[in-house]
Structure formats: structure tokens, C-alpha cells
Structure 1
Amino acid sequence: MVRIDDLQVFIRAADNGSLSAAARQLDLSPAVASAALKRLEAAVGAQLLARSTRSLRLTVAGERYLEHARAALDALQSGSVALAQDRQALSGSLSLSMPSDLGRNLLRPWLDAFLQQHPGLSLQLQISDRVADLYRQPVDVALRYGVPEDSALVALPLAPDNRRVLCASPDYLARHGAPAAPQDLRRHSCLRFILGAAVHERWSFLRNGERQVVTVDGRWHSDDGEIVRNWALAGLGIAYKSRLDVLADLRAGRLQPLLEGYDTEQTPLYLVTPHRLMLSPAAVALRAHLQQCLDAYLAGPRAGEGRNDSCD
């Protein structure tokens, strides 16, 4: 009979390419993890992982079995989550990673409200524009812009239609004028954001089926999205920001949208986790809360617009 613990070892080892890494994540000794894998291979009658002193890889049988193993654990986890939600209030801790500008200025009040609703829960926030390694860092779930490159990650959409907005302050536009076409950006001061190890300086625009990619320049660039936004508010240049990051500023007139006749780059917002086993009752409830808050926020201006703490 296949044991659930053995499936967890196999999946973690396959995801990390390392049996020792799987053992660390599951708080097991390497010997216990190795025994679990041997027990699973004996139960299914096939070698699932080819191992040497320096490497580990899935066999053909392992690749086929991995999909079924994930599905089995997903089903068991879903049942456990449903039962847990029925019988108890949320408790424990939840670690969450998110982008700087989004986290500080939009999500933080919503997260405060979420904790007020669930006094037995504690929340640990990691606010940074550096992408967290969900396999190696102590993060349960992450909020990320863009579809994850790693197809093994579970990505649940929160704002799938979100796009970038080209924008600048009224003060900057009064001094320098507004670009009439994407190519005009070459003569403007553009506020660039560092994504990973590269500067995001090739800005893309689409109209009538024709895509224009412009390489922009400027004296200011940073790996912190909130700093880029503040530079734009200070009138130092033109920014190409996520609409979620600047929507309150656009509604209040602190920033003005530019080149509105063009389709801008997509930057959907997802809640991401290494696998569905990490979707604890707290994570599921948090996703539902943030979805409700985002839907209300994006619905349009209302009385008291500009405040981001109205979701309760």
C-alpha cells in the first residue's frame, strides 16, 4: 500500500532535483527520506528516480507517476481543507511574499482587515520586488505579477486582466509635454524598473495589430517599484507601472495616463504556491478575501475613492 508520506517525499524530491532538499523541507533525516522513496518504488513496482552521488532525475516511469501522485495528494489536501474549514476557526501562521509597491500601498490595509477577522492567525510579510524562491525560502504563498515561468508552480489568478499603464505627473507633462506615439519616449526621461538582473527598458505597445517596442532611457532606475512610483509622483519622468500600483494616483489626478490608444503590456496578478498542499485553510481564505477586495477596488470610483482600507 502506498503511504501518503512517501508520496510527499517523492514529489518534493522531483520538484527540487534533490532527495536531501526534500528531506530538509519535510524535516526528515536523509536516511528516512531515502527509505520512503525505496518503499514507494517497491509499492508501485518501478524505479521512479535515477540517483547518483551528484544528481537525481525522474525516470520515464517517474515522469508518468508524478502526475498521478500530485493528483492524489491534491485530492487528499482538498478534503482535509474542507473538513478543517468546517470544524475550526483559522489559526497558526502564514508567510506571504509580495511586491513592494503593491504590498505597502494597496494590500497592507486589506491584510490588516483579514487579521482582524481571524484573531487566531498570524501573518508574516516579505515585501520585496525580488522574486522569492518558493522551493527554498520559508514562504507559504506569494503574490506575483506575470505568469510564473516554472510550470510546476500552482498559480491562481487574482487580477488576470491587469496591464501596465504609461503615466506621468501633471507637473512633468506641463514642463515636457506628453508623448504622442511610443517612439516619442526616446526624448523623455523614463523611470526604469530593474526586473531580476535586467533593467526593464524595452517598453512594448500594440495598436491595430502592430507592436512597437521602444528602448527607453533616463537617469533614474531602481529595483524597488515603490521608488519608481514616487519618482513619477515627484515629476521626475514617465513610468510604465502596473495599473494596480497607480490606480489610486490616476483616480486622484496625481498621475495622468499616456498613449491610451495603445494596448500595453499584460501584467496579471497571481497567488502562487509550490503545490496545492501549501493551500492551507488560511491561504484559501486569504485568497478569497483578496479577491473580494480587488474586485471591489477595480469596480470603479466610489465615495471616498483613493482610500485602500475599505475592504473589511
Structure 2
Amino acid sequence: MIRLDDLQVFIRAADHGSLSAAARQLDLSPAVASAALKRLEAEVGAQLLARSTRSLRLTLAGERYLVHARAALDAVQAGSLALAQDRQALAGSLSLSMPSDLGRNVLRPWLDDFLARHPGLSLQLRVSDRVADLYRQPVDVAVRYGVPDDSSLVALPLAPDNRRVLCASPDYLARHGAPHAPQDLRGRQCLRLVLGEAVHERWSFERDGERQTVAVSGRWMSDDGEIVRRWAAAGRGIAYKSRLDVLADLRSGALQALLPDCLTEPAPLYLVTPHRLMLSPALVALREHLQTCLAGYLAEP
């Protein structure tokens, strides 16, 4: 198979009448440039350049091949330019489903910035902690916590190492004290999230290699993750939330992390779509944008 790098060496050497000049322009050693030319000649089955210690010239075969080599390289460069222009001028519409707390308070400003960069795009947002049915609802892509149960879905990692954080407000801790072990959560006011028809009330931890699951209870439950976080910040009880959801509150001191010596439940964040054929340039660009924003957000002091 002919390599583009080898074509570049041949074209530059033909243009300058010197293999060493071609090597300098391409930032290659003379030996590497010579090997590239020999590899190309072996691939096409003809001598393209007649070389001596003092001169270099195109052979008849080389003159004929040079036209096609230039055309091939120009075509590849034109294709790369077209793709770059597509990325810079994205158009069309995207329908995106995202969780309530993360969507409203973290993702929304980043999505606004994404649309500002790509004025040809339009975006429809569906904000809910209920898992969107990507086959039945008019949704192109969903931001979700956790690996999808349906293996036919395409899940692209956004924050694969994200985990839950056990947390409460300083006011709550001043009144009730902090738990020192997972078992201490029994009998506490635990703020529970309703996921579909199920209540997330069995909270798991790992300490010293031993997994512990605690059945928690409390007076406050909601199917909206933002409400659960607001209850926690208001001192209503203890929450077990995604770190991405509560990171701003942890940094400001509105919430404090508890049981720091326990490994908490994983809560990886994915961009999920029904099929790889739906990975449009706009969707690929959105994923790259969100990955960059998440990396910067997590790296903030």
C-alpha cells in the first residue's frame, strides 16, 4: 500500500531536484527520505528518480507518475479541508435528553456555548431524571449516568470515572453529627431519589475491600435530582449524589463529603445514542465539547 508520506518525499524531491532538500523540508533524516523513495518505487514497480552522487532527475516513469502523485495528494488534502470546514460550520438540529440536576446547573451553560460556536445548529432539550426511550421518543442522544442495560445502544464515555458522594450540609451535621460508618446511616434522614418506579434506597460502599450495602430511609423522596440536592443544601438530611452534581456545593462549602475512607458507587457519565449511524459530525463535535468542558470543570481547584 502506498503511503502518503512517501508520496510527499517523491514530490518534494522532484520539485527541488534534491532528496536532501526534500528531507530538510519535511524534517526527515536523509536516510529516512531515501528509504521512503525506495519503498514507493518498490510499490509502483518502477524507478522514479535517477540518482547519482551529484544529481537527481525524474525518469520517464517518474515524469508520468508525478502527475498522478500530485493529484492523489491534492485529493487527500482537499478531503481533510472539507471535513475541517464541516466541523466549523455544523448545521441541522439535535434533540438531547439529560438529567435534571446536571443538565440545568452544569451542562446548560456549556450547551449554550456550543450553540454560540455553531450558529447553524438548533437544539431541543428534554430535562428529566426518567430514562428516555431512545427508540420511541424523538430523542437523538441522551446524557446518562450508568452503563445502559440495552447492549444495542451506543454509549460514548464522557466522565467514566465519576462516582457518587455521600454528603450533607454543615447545618445538618452540626445538629445531628456525621456518620462514621455506612451502618450509621440507618435511622438517619436520607434523601432518596426515585428512579423510574424504584426508589434508590440501598446505598453501597466499599471499605477495606469489603462491600457494604445499607437500606436507608427518610421523609423526603423525589424523582428530581436537583430537588434532592437542594434539600441536602437546606439541611434536610444526607444525600448520595453524583459527584458532578454536587461538586460546586462541595467546593463552596454548602455541602460536605462524608465517609471519605469509603469507596462509593460508580456513576459514570455517558453520551448514549441508538445506533452508530446517528454519530453525525454535530454529535461528534458535541461529545468533544462536553469532554473538554468536563475535564476543565473537574480540574478546577
TM-score w.r.t. the length of structure 1 is: 0.69
Whether contact under 8 Å (1:101, 1:225) holds in the other structure is yes
Summarize the alignment of residues 256-295 of structure 1 with structure 2, pairs less than 5 Å apart. Answer: 256-295=256-295
The aligned residue for residue 162 of structure 1 is 162
Summarize the alignment of residues 235-246 of structure 1 with structure 2, pairs less than 5 Å apart. Answer: 235-246=235-246
The aligned residue for residue 90 of structure 2 is 90
Per-residue deviation, 1:300: 2.9
- Equivalenced residues, count: 221
State the distance in 1 between where 2:268 and 2:81 align. Answer: 31
Per-residue deviation, 1:85: 3.5
Do structure 1's residue 136 and structure 2's residue 152 form an aligned pair? no
Per-residue deviation, 1:198: 0.5
Q: Provide the identity percentage.
A: 79
Cα RMSD (Å): 1.4
The aligned residue for residue 207 of structure 1 is 207
Question: Any gaps of 5 or more consecutive residues in structure 1?
Answer: 1-80, 302-312
Residue 165 of structure 1 aligns to a residue in which SS? strand
The letter of the residue matching 2:168 is: A
Residue 186 of structure 2 aligns to a residue in which SS? helix
State the distance in 1 between where 2:249 and 2:178 align. Answer: 18
The aligned residue for residue 222 of structure 1 is 222
The letter of the residue matching 1:180 is: H
Summarize the alignment of residues 1-312 of structure 1 with structure 2, pairs less than 5 Å apart. Answer: 85-88=83-86, 89-301=89-301
Instruction: Name the larger-Rg structure.
Output: 2
State the distance in 2 between where 1:125 and 1:85 align. Answer: 27
Q: Which digits, 9 at most, give the CA deviation of each residue in 1:133-180, with x for residues without a partner?
A: 001111111000000000000000000000000000000000000001
State the distance in 1 between where 2:106 and 2:206 align. Answer: 28
Residue 108 of structure 2 aligns to a residue in which SS? helix
Per-residue deviation, 1:87: 4.3
Runs of 4+ in structure 1 displaced over 3 angstroms?
A: 81-88
Per-residue deviation, 1:195: 1.1
The letter of the residue matching 1:164 is: R
TM-score w.r.t. the length of structure 2 is: 0.72
State the distance in 2 between where 1:254 and 1:119 align. Answer: 37
Question: Any gaps of 5 or more consecutive residues in structure 2?
Answer: 1-78
